[in-house]
Amino acid sequence: ALRLLTVPERTRYREFRPALARLRWIISWEAIVDALSAFPYFIDLVDGRQSFLSFTWLRIFRIFLLFKTSRYSNAVSTAYRVLFVNREILIVCASLVSFFVLLTSTLLYVFADTELRHVNGFGSVPSSMYMAVLMLTGQGGPDGDLSTEMRCVV
């Protein structure tokens, strides 16, 4: 609403009368992006009920805010160039991280006894990946009494 009120002050719309400037802005791409990203909030606000058929799925339209990055295009192009130039390094790093997460989660699953699997929720190798990520980032370790093999993994 504030943008709609201040549109006649913008350089692009100064040549028009205020009402016409606002009308031209309403049908512009920028206004459509704003509307698509804001409507889900207002629909939930007006609806008010917490039903199974909520409109939270409409919040995906907030992704349209990414289309408003034209004023930051120099920064975005610089970031893209940096990622492009360093793509090999980034691919190797992502591959190493994936390998170590898979290796650590496999070792956790193999060396954990039944009680330790139950306490920490290691039902399978993919379920032990969460603990592997926690361990590799230094955020935590498995709960319970650890065997000698498990201590070597940790």
The pTM of this model reads 0.49
3-state secondary structure 53-81: CCCHHHHHHHHHHHHHCHHHHHHHHHHHH
Residue pair 120/145 in contact by the 8 Å Cβ criterion: no
Produce one character per residue of 45-60: b if its CB has 16 or more CB atoms within 10 Å, e if not: eeeeeeeeeebeeeee
Q: For each of the chain's 154 residues, which pLDDT tens digit applies?
A: 677 888 888 888 889 999 999 999 888 887 887 787 777 777 767 766 655 455 566 667 667 666 666 666 777 788 889 999 999 999 999 999 999 999 988 888 888 777 777 777 778 888 888 888 888 888 877 776 666 676 676 6
DSSP annotation of 134 reads H
User: Nearest 5°: CA angle at 70, between 59 and 1?
Assistant: 55
